[in-house]
């Protein structure tokens, strides 16, 4: 979903063009208070704001961006920008956002995998060393073998 904030005519034209071209629902707001209320109630992929609104409502913009979470801000001058240009800007911003999110997810997965590999290797080594202790009771040996097998399965999954 996309939020378009601007003066009446420009915002409506922009919203219609974005909705038709992107196939996403588009909300419009003509005042900063209305935009903040919409941002608090909905999750947006992008927030398109008319430069004139930014100039008029400067302090309110910080409040707006606090509630838009991961939405990509796109600032345009609706008075001189064509709908095609706004559409290109929004598409570009959304594609950049998708690439950045994918890269962040990949980095988080790599970090988690690396950290878990170390912990699992520690569990595996400790339990294998404990299994070599001749004084270990038979019931504990069976449990430690289960722990070793589980740790080996987890390590194999992480390496796959």
Q: What is the pLDDT of residues 41-83, one digit of tens each?
A: 999 999 999 988 877 777 778 888 889 888 999 999 888 888 8
pTM of the model: 0.71
pLDDT number for residue 20: 92
pLDDT number for residue 57: 74
- Residue 4 Cα to chain centre, angstroms: 20
pLDDT number for residue 149: 92
pLDDT number for residue 25: 95
**Residues of the chain where predicted confidence (pLDDT) is lower than 70:** none
The span from the CA of 101 to the CA of 123, in Å, is 33
CB 21 within 8 A of CB 48: no
């Amino acid at each position: 979903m996309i939020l378009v904030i601007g003066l009446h005519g420009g915002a409506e034209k922009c919203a219609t063009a974005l909705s038709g071209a992107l196939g996403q629902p588009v909300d419009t707001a003509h005042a900063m208070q209305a935009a903040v209320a919409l941002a608090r109630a909905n999750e947006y992929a992008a927030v398109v704001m008319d430069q004139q609104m930014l100039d008029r409502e400067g302090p309110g913009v910080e409040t707006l961006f606090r509630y838009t979470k991961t939405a990509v801000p796109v600032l345009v001058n609706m008075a001189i920008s064509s709908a095609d240009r706004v559409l290109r800007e929004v598409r570009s911003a959304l594609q950049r956002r998708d690439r950045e999110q994918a890269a962040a997810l990949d980095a988080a997965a790599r970090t988690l995998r690396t950290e878990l590999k170390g912990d699992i290797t520690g569990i595996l080594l400790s339990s294998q060393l404990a299994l070599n202790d001749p004084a270990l009771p038979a019931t504990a040996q069976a449990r430690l073998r289960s722990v070793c097998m589980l740790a080996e399965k987890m390590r194999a999954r992480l390496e796959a």
